[in-house]
Structure formats: structure tokens, C-alpha cells
């Protein structure tokens, strides 16, 4: 088996005193779609920021395509990012540019291609996400699902080797959700890229990914292929897959004794 | 008591830290300014939004300030029989002080606040992060063109403000009140020195342009990425710009015009 594209080794991260990741090790093999799952605020998005070099780990190592991300200077990091694409939670389209210009943005910034060629490339990318007809619209005129697809077209504009998705399913209707899911899988295979999806949408993920990591309290608590996850007896995984309110992940935020709080005030 | 000193100390340290932060940010803007000029359309677009779009408020305000100067100036000068010097008074007040200062204040509230809001909202909607992840520096692509747009348009707006003010003074003094037209212009020509008065005024407006543009882009870039954070950043832009303009004006005036 070839060297995985992304490898995290015992990665630790903290915002000030607050520890977010407490020793995470995982790898994203080439050509695969990997999901990183966990409750809200468990540090999933931070993982993507570490892989993209927007944050530096406190301990451990993050390597992408054999390069230690934390050790890269600005130019080398930017060179690496040109081969990565990241889809932000709400698309992060440039609101002062049309759909066409948004998708053309990375091409214009990083290549000297003639305008006709850029036009063709943009149209191909937009066609891939089914929005060639929306090229002239402004981001404000798009629905949430459409905006996400345009952002996806922009993400793949430079044919990246690694695609990162930050909560790609959040706030979408079931149809848009299915469309985005299928696009993630199809584009990954068509581009020969590797993808990492950070999400808490278990049902959609089980259908499209090759491997899943579960994260809780800054650690990997379970992992496996979709089939293994579906049949897992692990209480955390089971709580997650079956969406139970209480379990290893408690319903209550840590608090003092309930009776004392009622009698003695919130303090 | 110790608490008060501790608070004062921490405020002072914070202030100095912030100043250092702005200085570093300013340096980064200068380092990443290449694109603002090699891809001039980026800067021209900002010149349009900051400069051209501020024209109306600048011209109208300039006219009114000139009209008031004309009235007040004539009222005072005619007591000493010096109403012929109205042109001098209007022109000197405008090119030395009112042009740069009032245009700067208007510019901060019209264009500076807009720049802060725009950059702040780009931060809220993760557009800056997205750009950074696409290996495009937001400072080079977003911040620097807006900075230069402000720096270039400010002296031009101040000049137009002064010109409009002089016209307003002439309108009131010569056309309405009846001060001698020839005396109005001749005395002005005689008294206003290009280097001492006009050039110093231009330098002032240039410095204000740098200050306002820097504060505006910094506050936008540095804002807390929430609705409340952006609104606070906009307020800080207007307040800090106004204070910076007035303080810098005093410092520069004391160096430039010592008689």
C-alpha cells in the first residue's frame, strides 16, 4: 500500500488553556474519501485547519504528500495549498463577484491561461456541478445548496490532489444534500483526488465514504469502514449512528448537583 | 488602589501592543503592495468606491463650508474695513486646515466605515480564510488595494473640497454681498503661497489619507467575526480616524506654520 496522502501522528492542539485535540493519529489514503465525525465542537474543523496549515499543532506531526505542514515557510505552504481545495461550511463565495468569476478566481490568480481557456475550464467545472446555467448570477441570488455547489466548482478549479470539506451537508434540504454527497464521491473519483469530509451527518456519510473516524474529546474513539460502523457494538458509535440523546456523550453539560442548584441558585 | 494601577498598567500595555500590531500590519501591507500596482484594476476599483463615490458628500460639504466662511469672514473683516481680504481668509482657512481636516473626517465616515464593513463581513463569511486557503494572500488581494485606494483618493478629495469651498466663499462674498471681484482673487493670489500653504495642506491630507485608510483596513481585518464585532469595528474606525486626524493635524500644524 502506498504512503497515505495525509498523515496525522499524535497531533495535539489547544486554544490557550483549552485542549481541543489530545493526541490524534489518522491517515487519509490516496484516492479515498474519509469522513471525520464527532459531535459539534469536538475539534473536527480544527483538524482541517491543521492539514491546511492555517493552524499549527502544539505537538505531533501533520504531513501532507510527505511534507511536514508545520515546517513549511509561507511560499512552500502556498505552493502546497494550490494542490488542496477546501469547501467551507457555507461556501464562502466572494460576494462581489459573479458565479463565473468566483470559479475563475483561482485560475486567474495562479495561472496565465488565456481568457478563452479560462472560460472553457470554468464552464466545465460549473457543468460538473450542474450549474453552467447559473454562471452569470451573483452569490446573493443562489440558494444554499447552489452556493455550496458553486463553491465546490471553485474548490476543484485547479484539480487539487486533496479535497477538504467542512460540514458540507449542514443546512441543506434532502435533495441538495444527496446531490452534494454524490458530487463529493464522483468528483473525488474523477479527479483521482483524496477527500476528507468533516461532518456529523452520519447517514449521508455512510453511503459515500470509504472510511470513518469518530472523534470525541480530542481523541479518535472509533474507526472503520461504513459496514464496520453500521455493525459496531461500540456504545459511542451506536449512540451516534442511532442518534440517541444520551449515552457515552452525555445530554447534560457538566454541572453540579441538580437539587443544590435549584435550592441554592445557579452558582 | 493597587487595582486601579494594575488596570492602568494593563491598558497601557494593551495600547502599546495594539500599536505594535498596527505597525506590523502596515509593514505587511507595504510588503504585499506589489499587486495593487501591477494589477492596477484592483486599486482602480477601490479608488472608484472610496473616491468617486465620496465626491457628492465632499463637494456639497465643501460648498457649504465655503458659504459659511464667506458670511462669517465678511462679517468680521468689514468691521476693520478689510472686506477685500475675504478671498485670502477663505482660501487660507481652506487649504491649510478645513480642506484636509473636514474632508478627512467626512472621508473616514463615508469611505473608511464602508471599507471596514466590507472587510469585516468578508471575515465573517470566511471569504478571507477561503482566499488564504486558495493560496491567495488576503492582504495582497483585499487589504492593500483598499488601502491604496484610500491613500490616493484622500488628497484629491481634500483639494476638491477646498476648491469648492473657495467657490462657495466667492459666491457669498462677491455675487451675493458684493465684495469687489478683482480684489477677492488678487488678494488671494497674493497671499496664498504655493509651497507654504497649498503644499503643506496637500501633505496634511496625504497623511490623513494614510491614517484613515490604515485604520479602516486594520479594524476590518482585526474585527471579531460576528455581527456585533463588525458593528464595533465600524464605530472604532470612525472614532479612531477622527481622533487621529485631529491629533495629527495639531502636530503637523505646529511644525508647518510657526510664523
Within an 8 Å CB–CB cutoff, is residue A12 touching chain B?
A: no
Distance CA B197, CA B257 (A): 9
What confidence score (pLDDT) does residue B98 get? 94
Q: What is the mean pLDDT of residues A124-130?
A: 90
Does A215 share its domain with A241? no
Q: Which of A206, A199, A93, A202 is nearest to A145 (CA)?
A: A93
A148 shares its domain with A86? yes
The ipTM estimated for the assembled molecules is 0.83
Please indicate, yes or no, whether residues A115 and A188 belong to a single structural domain of this protein. Answer: yes
Q: How far is B39 from chain A (nearest CA, A)?
A: 11
B130/A86 touch (CB, cutoff 8 Å), yes or no: yes
The answer to whether the CB of B212 falls within 8 A of the CB of B244 is yes
Residue B142's pLDDT band, with cuts at 50, 70 and 90, is very high
Q: Are residues A135 and A198 in the same domain?
A: yes
B127 touches A: beta carbon within 8 Å: yes
Question: What does the pLDDT read at residue A266?
Answer: 52
Indicate if A178 and A248 belong to the same structural domain: no
Answer yes or no: is pLDDT of A179 > 70.
yes
Selection from A70, A23, A37 nearest residue A239 by Cα: A37
Residue-level pLDDT at B124: 93
Yes or no, beta carbons of B136 and A92 under 8 Å apart: no
Instruction: Report CB contact under 8 Å: B127, A94.
Output: yes
Q: What is the pLDDT of residues A2-36, one digit of tens each?
A: 788 999 988 888 888 888 888 889 999 999 999 99
Is A1 part of a structural domain of the chain?
no
Q: Which residues of B touch A111 (CB under 8 A)?
A: none
Q: Does one domain contain both A149 and A49?
A: yes
What stretch of H or E contains A28?
A: strand A18-28
- Asked, for residue A63, whether it belongs to a domain, the answer is yes
Residue A55 phi/psi, 5° resolution? -130, 155
* Packing angle of the helix pair A115-128, A144-155 (nearest 10 deg): 130
Closest-CA distance, A247 to chain B, in angstroms, reads 33
Establish if A36 belongs to a structural domain: yes
Average pLDDT, chain A: 87
In a mutational test of the A interface, the residue from B35, B133, B136, B145 whose CB has the highest number of chain A CBs within 10 Å is B133
Do A181 and A266 reside in the same domain of the chain?
Answer: no
Assess whether A222 and A245 both reside in one domain. Answer: no
Q: Are residues A153 and A107 in the same domain?
A: yes
What's the number of domains chain A is made of?
2
Question: Regarding predicted confidence, which is higher, B121 or A240?
Answer: B121
Domain that holds residue A172: 6-232
Contact A106 B130 (CB under 8 A): no
Angle at which helix B144-170 crosses helix B55-77, to 10 degrees, equals 40
A170 touches chain B (CB under 8 A): no
Q: Shortest Cα distance from A52 to chain B (angstroms)? A: 7
Give how far B245 is from chain A: nearest CA, Å: 31
Strand bridging mode A219-224 / A211-216: antiparallel
Smallest Cα distance from B126 to chain A, Å: 5
Residue A89 is part of a domain; what is its CATH number?
A: 3.40.50.300
Residue B122: its chain A contacts at CB < 8 A?
94-95
| A106: contact with B, CB 8 A cutoff | yes
Same domain membership, residue A113 and residue A207: yes
A88–B130 CB contact, under 8 Å: yes
Residues of chain A found within 8 Å of residue B141, distances taken between Cβ atoms: 109
Do A21 and A117 fall into the same domain? yes
- Amino acid A1: pLDDT: 53
Q: Which of B34, B41, B121, B134 to mutate to test the interface with A (most CBs of A within 10 A)?
A: B134
Domain identity same for A153 and A240: no
Tell me, letter by letter, the H, E, C secondary structure of A192-246.
CCEEEEEECCHHHHHHHCCEEEEEECCEEEEEECHHHHHCCCCHHHHHHHCCCCC
How much is the pLDDT for A234? Answer: 81
**CB within 8 Å: A88 and B129:** yes
CB atoms within 10 A of CB B126: 20
pLDDT tens, residue by residue, B67-109: 999 999 999 999 998 888 999 999 999 999 999 999 999 999 9
Instruction: Please indicate whether, in this complex, the C-beta atoms of A109 and B130 are within 8 angstroms of each other.
Output: no
Report in angstroms the alpha-carbon separations of A171 from A69, A142, A175, A246, B203.
Answer: 31, 14, 12, 23, 53
A40 in reach of chain B (CB within 8 A) = no
Give the tens place of pLDDT for each residue, B221-255: 999 999 999 999 999 999 999 999 999 999 999 99
Amino acid at each position: 500500500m502506498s504512503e497515505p496522502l495525509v498523515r496525522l501522528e499524535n497531533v495535539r492542539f489547544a486554544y490557550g488553556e483549552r485542549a481541543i485535540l489530545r493526541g490524534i493519529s489518522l491517515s487519509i489514503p490516496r484516492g479515498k474519501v474519509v469522513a471525520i465525525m464527532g459531535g459539534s465542537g469536538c475539534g473536527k474543523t480544527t483538524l482541517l485547519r491543521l492539514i491546511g496549515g492555517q493552524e499549527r499543532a502544539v505537538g505531533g506531526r501533520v504531513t501532507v504528500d510527505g511534507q511536514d505542514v508545520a515546517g513549511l515557510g509561507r511560499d512552500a505552504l502556498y505552493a502546497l495549498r494550490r494542490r488542496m481545495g477546501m469547501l467551507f461550511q457555507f461556501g464562502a463565495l466572494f460576494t462581489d463577484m459573479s458565479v463565473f468569476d468566483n470559479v475563475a478566481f483561482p485560475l486567474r490568480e495562479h495561472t496565465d491561461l488565456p481568457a478563452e481557456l479560462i472560460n472553457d475550464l470554468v464552464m466545465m467545472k460549473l457543468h460538473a456541478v450542474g450549474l453552467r446555467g447559473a454562471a452569470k448570477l451573483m452569490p446573493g441570488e443562489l440558494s444554499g445548496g447552489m452556493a455550496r455547489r458553486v463553491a465546490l466548482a471553485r474548490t476543484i478549479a485547479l484539480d487539487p490532489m486533496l479535497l477538504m470539506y467542512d460540514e458540507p451537508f449542514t443546512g441543506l434540504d434532502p435533495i441538495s444534500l444527496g446531490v452534494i454527497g454524490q458530487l463529493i464521491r464522483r468528483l473525488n473519483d474523477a479527479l483521482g483526488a483524496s477527500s476528507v469530509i468533516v461532518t456529523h451527518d452520519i447517514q449521508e456519510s455512510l453511503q459515500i465514504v470509504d472510511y470513518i473516524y469518530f472523534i470525541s474529546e480530542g481523541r479518535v474513539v472509533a474507526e472503520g469502514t461504513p459496514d464496520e460502523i453500521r455493525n459496531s457494538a461500540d456504545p459511542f458509535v451506536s449512540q451516534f449512528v442511532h442518534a440517541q440523546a444520551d449515552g457515552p456523550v452525555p445530554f447534560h453539560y457538566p454541572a453540579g448537583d441538580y437539587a443544590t442548584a435549584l435550592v441554592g441558585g445557579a452558582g | 488602589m493597587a487595582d486601579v494601577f494594575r488596570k492602568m498598567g494593563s491598558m497601557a500595555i494593551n495600547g502599546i501592543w495594539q500599536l505594535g500590531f498596527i505597525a506590523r500590519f502596515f509593514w505587511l501591507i507595504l510588503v504585499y503592495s506589489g499587486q495593487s500596482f501591477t494589477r492596477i484594476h484592483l486599486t482602480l476599483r477601490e479608488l472608484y468606491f472610496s473616491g468617486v463615490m465620496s465626491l457628492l458628500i465632499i463637494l456639497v460639504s465643501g460648498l457649504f463650508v465655503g458659504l459659511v466662511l464667506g458670511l462669517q469672514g465678511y462679517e468680521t473683516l468689514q468691521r476693520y474695513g478689510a472686506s477685500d481680504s475675504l478671498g485670502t481668509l477663505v482660501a487660507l482657512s481652506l487649504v491649510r486646515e478645513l480642506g484636509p481636516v473636514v474632508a478627512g473626517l467626512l472621508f473616514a465616515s463615508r469611505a473608511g466605515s464602508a471599507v471596514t464593513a466590507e472587510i469585516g463581513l468578508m471575515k465573517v463569511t470566511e471569504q478571507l480564510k477561503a482566499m488564504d486557503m486558495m493560496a491567495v494572500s488576503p492582504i495582497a488581494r483585499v487589504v492593500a488595494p483598499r488601502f491604496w485606494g484610500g491613500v490616493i483618493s484622500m488628497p484629491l478629495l481634500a483639494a476638491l473640497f477646498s476648491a469648492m469651498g473657495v467657490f462657495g466663499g466667492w459666491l457669498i462674498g462677491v455675487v451675493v454681498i458684493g465684495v469687489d471681484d478683482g480684489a477677492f482673487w488678487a488678494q488671494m493670489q497674493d497671499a496664498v503661497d504655493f509651497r507654504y500653504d497649498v503644499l503643506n495642506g496637500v501633505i496634511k491630507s496625504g497623511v490623513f489619507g494614510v491614517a484613515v485608510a490604515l485604520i479602516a483596513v486594520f479594524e476590518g481585518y482585526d474585527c471579531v467575526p460576528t455581527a456585533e464585532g463588525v458593528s464595533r469595528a465600524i464605530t472604532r474606525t470612525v472614532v479612531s480616524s477622527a481622533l487621529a486626524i485631529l491629533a495629527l493635524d495639531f502636530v503637523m500644524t505646529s511644525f508647518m506654520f510657526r510664523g
